[in-house]
Structure 1
Amino acid sequence: MTTRPAGASAAEPATPGISTRTLVFGLVREDGTVDAGELYAVAQILGMTDQQVRLCVKRLVTEGRFTQEGRGRKAVLRTAADATGSIAPNVEYVRHAYRQDQGLAPWDGTWHLFAFAIPETSRQARDTLRDTLLHLGAAPLQGGLYVSANEIGDTVEAHAHRLGVLASLTRLTSRDLRVGEETAPARLAALLWPLQPIAERHETLAALATDRLTRLSQPAAPPTATQRLTYTIELATAFTNAMDPDPLLPPELLPQPWPGTRARALAAQCWNTLTTGHHETGSRLHLFSLYDRALTAPRPNPPQ
């Protein structure tokens, strides 16, 4: 499946990971509906076929996530369950990222460590706790031992309690972490976290945001309402693709300049351009209100 808009040049930044399902959730309006006409129009720009859209809608209705009124492009979908899909931002996570970018969340030099030994009889809980730690940006040191540069202890403990394995969880902090012979914090970060792939995802986001900002700023050929909706889905998807695997390491532990800082600033600028003065399109999407809440903190200008 291609994500390049019809007629785009081969050099245009593409947005990976836009599925038909993601598109449907991204076009949910504030009233919980999806206009099928808009859905098919945006899908066409993204290179999706009508058949893909029909099959996806059928699956979502079968799963009980939507109900459908009418047929084809004149149909209206109504959310019956989660209206955010997979591209809704975690508001506090995003705000923390922008605070770090602005130097408002400096690292105090503390490493947060988590250890657990959960028996095979509770394998599902063990796997879930491990996945929670990884999702929160912790890195494995060795079997059952994880480290984070951020203070995520209360969240991890809450998950362990919900899973019924809190008694098996050990928390501790240290300002003296050593892996093999390595003790330098920045080199430890490069050893423990896959910084290059994370940086590349942010470069993809920055390239997309830059391209869409250029298109949005051309008064002679302003994008149509459908194109603006398409840019919205592309930007939200690229932002999620970049942020989901990012452990949000403090700037003190990252190579500088760090691509994530520039990418997030450009994304915020593009988002603001998409929403400002265009109430006929973006402001009616549920997705816009979610990102508005996530991006309410002051934002820096993109580094040049």
Structure 2
Amino acid sequence: MTHAQPERAPRPEIPTRLLVHALVREDGTVDADKLYGVAGLLGMTDQQVRLCVKRLVTEGRFTQEGRGRKAVLRAVSDAATAAIAPDAVHVGHAYRQDRGLAPWDGTWHLFAFAIPETHRTARDTLRETLLHLGAAPVQGGLYVAANPIAHLVEARARQLDVLASVTFLTSTDLRIGNIVDPRQLASGIWPLDEIAAGHERLAAFATHCADRLARGSDLSRVERLTLAVELAAEFSRAMTPDPLLPPELLPHPWPGQRARRLSQECWTALRALPEAQDTPTPLPRLFRLYSDAITAPGER
């Protein structure tokens, strides 16, 4: 009697450029042989990798020593990993919420601005900053957040020289139309269904990752790197749009907590794998960045 194989979690889409960044080691280098190996497991062709490397070198982001699979790429600055590195503050706050260490105090943080068309670039940048920090529009020029981000918004407004056009206020009795219940307000302001779907995808991939690790302690370094890059990409895909609303404002159960727990378990297992004696080269700095971001200080 044959048993059906478990369904493979959908593979996250990873641009070649992102892959190069993800494989930067602590010393700023990327081993081309590992790059081509991981790219192959992700369905990328050697030609894709060659063209990408050529563009990155032309842009001045990397230098190249040697040719083909024997080449070594060197990042020009630490920013090379930023494309896939986690926002440690954002991720750390998420795990604090999961541990019940960041309860909501019932305060809504509101921001209003009316920046003229002559400062359109600054206006657009401020809007992007608000969205990045987890705020959402309530109506034209008025944004609301559940977390205390005023100091970050103010710093950005000062940098853009538009602070005089920004109004800051807080409220504990926000009402939109006839809706006053905080959880109902949150579900109407933020696209929680889409955010939850992203966490469900992350949980599915993390489950696949854990299963693969449990079944294959003999993973090659290339296979190990591939799993790490895929997990990092899916984690970033789920976390980037998440405003990290306090649990008091979210539906129950909320998939974000489970997805982050599974991700943490996978990172721990990936780091714990023994190094192959014939390839004792350093792991990408991605391993440290994610482990630092998702691990509580007392657990390191």
1:64 matched residue in structure 2: 60
Q: Which amino acid in 2 is paired with 1:103?
A: G
Tell me the SS of whatever aligns to 1:217. Answer: helix
Q: Percent identity?
A: 63
Q: 2:33 aligns with which of 28, 34, 37?
A: 37
More displaced stretch, 73-82 vs 9-18: 9-18
CA distance in 2, matches of 1:123, 1:237: 32
CA contact (8 A) 2:196 2:254 kept: yes
2:87 matched residue in structure 1: 90
CA distance in 1, matches of 2:181, 2:103: 17
CA distance in 2, matches of 1:235, 1:97: 17
Deviation at 1:87, TM superposition (A): 1.0
2:235 is the alignment partner of 1:248: no
CA distance in 1, matches of 2:104, 2:179: 19
Q: Which runs of 5+ in 1 are unaligned?
A: 1-8
CA distance in 1, matches of 2:66, 2:10: 33
1:287 matched residue in structure 2: 286
Counterparts of 1:187-226 in structure 2 under 5 Å?
187-218=184-215, 222-226=218-222
TM-score normalised over the length of structure 2: 0.93
1:131 matched residue in structure 2: 128
Q: 1:231 aligns with which of 219, 227, 233?
A: 227
Tell me the SS of whatever aligns to 2:212. Answer: helix
Tell me the SS of whatever aligns to 1:182. Answer: coil
Give a deviation string over 1:9-66, Cα, whole Å, max 9, x none.
Answer: 8931123231101110010011100000000000000000011101110111111100
Q: 2:106 aligns with which of 86, 109, 128?
A: 109
CA distance change for structure 1 residues 83 and 31 in 2, over 3 Å: closer, same or farther? same
Q: Which amino acid in 2 is paired with 1:80?
A: V
Tell me the SS of whatever aligns to 1:161. Answer: helix
Aligned residues: 291
CA distance change for structure 1 residues 299 and 131 in 2, over 3 Å: closer, same or farther? farther
1:3 matched residue in structure 2: none
CA contact (8 A) 1:24 1:34 kept: yes
CA contact (8 A) 1:274 1:282 kept: no
Question: What RMSD in Å do the two structures reach over aligned CA positions?
Answer: 1.8
CA distance in 2, matches of 1:13, 1:252: 30
1:26 matched residue in structure 2: 22
Q: Which runs of 5+ in 2 are unaligned?
A: none
Tell me the SS of whatever aligns to 2:24. Answer: coil
More displaced stretch, 224-233 vs 14-23: 14-23
